[in-house]
Amino acid sequence: MTIREYQLVLADGETFEGEGIGAELEPNGFAAGEVVFNTVLSGYQEVITDPSYAGQIITFTYPHIGNYGVNATDDESAKPFCRGVIIRDLARRQSNWRSEEHLNDYLRRHGLAGIAGIDTRRLTRHIRDTGALPGALGPADHAALLAAAKAESGTAGVDLVSLVTTPEQYTVGSGPRKIVAYDFGVKATMLRHLGEIGTVTVVPAHTTAEEVLAMNPDGVFLSNGPGDPKEAGPIVDELPKLLGEVPIFGICLGHQVLSLALGGRTYKMKFGHHGGNVPVQDTRTSKVEITAQNHNFAVEAGSVPNVTESHVCLNDGTLSGLVHNEYPAFSVQYHPEAGPGPHDSAYLFTEFAELMDGFQGQAA
């Protein structure tokens, strides 16, 4: 097999040389986006297909990627929305009874380019020092890649939700409760968990509160999604019309837009949280959960009025969850559905079910 010589050039000029993988780019071509790193040891397929990575190039810190192949069951969305992948070592063969395809073939099929053979430890240290920053990879010369990296806008101030949300509503699950799920870039694993507790109508991100209430739901779910919560569309203005009318549960971007709707503030983190081993403490019980996380923005602690700040990230003290003191609404910054990651926080879906059941009882 012919080796394709690629470079990865960051916007600050930092350069890495490696081998092209995945979709083959034109001789002067490149793939550009905001470069971030993820620390999961497994679950690379779920990471690549997480719509929350729209606009970003994913660096895997674990060195050996692709060793168990890919399969249709583990996709978190119909296609990857990330801009590219960066790995240390691409496995030459896959060894798992569930495997249906080699990772390299999967990337090619989806038109996703990547680079392998670089020192991902060095790249990760650089991102930790400088923060997430734009980059470009491909066979183009250094000057062209640097120009492409500098031209990238990053994820702040950019509407990425419109790129990943469903164009029309659909229904999944068969549980006893009626749930409306806002799709800001929802993961399939999230819908599987919700489908166990309710029949879920998934709606586009621009759906109005009036349209949601007309469906007479028992609860409203706010999904994960990519980018800046301030650019997530009309949802921040629509959410106040739902508060107090129906129980609400938000995850990741859903947590952020709920916080904005309640009067809170968000900010972009230096390099974000992307991994499956992040410790979070429930401040009410002191219990610690190991969680999956994937976000570049966070809610400013103390900025959301009339809430109990229920969870905190033990790595850096960032706000990881809140419960409203008056309305039936709560949210977390991390991913209780995992996919990939530990299942310590799956109980939150049960809490959502109990919140819906209790609200129905009050209404009766």
Positions annotated as catalytic residues are 252, 335, 337
Cα separation of 225 and 314, whole Å? 23
Q: Report the interhelical angle of 347-363 vs 188-197 (nearest 10°).
A: 40
Cα separation of 134 and 35, whole Å? 6
Which residues lie below 8 Å from residue 235, measured CB to CB, with a gap of 6+? 182, 184, 205, 206, 222, 257, 261
Cα separation of 11 and 14, whole Å? 7
Residue 146 CB-density burial (10 A; 0-12 exposed, 13-18 middle, 19+ buried): buried
Cα separation of 156 and 138, whole Å? 24
Could you tell me if 73 and 46 are in contact, meaning their C-beta atoms sit under 8 angstroms apart? no
Cα separation of 198 and 356, whole Å? 10
Which residues lie below 8 Å from residue 153, measured CB to CB, with a gap of 6+? 134
Q: Closest Cα partner for 332 from 296, 302, 291? A: 291
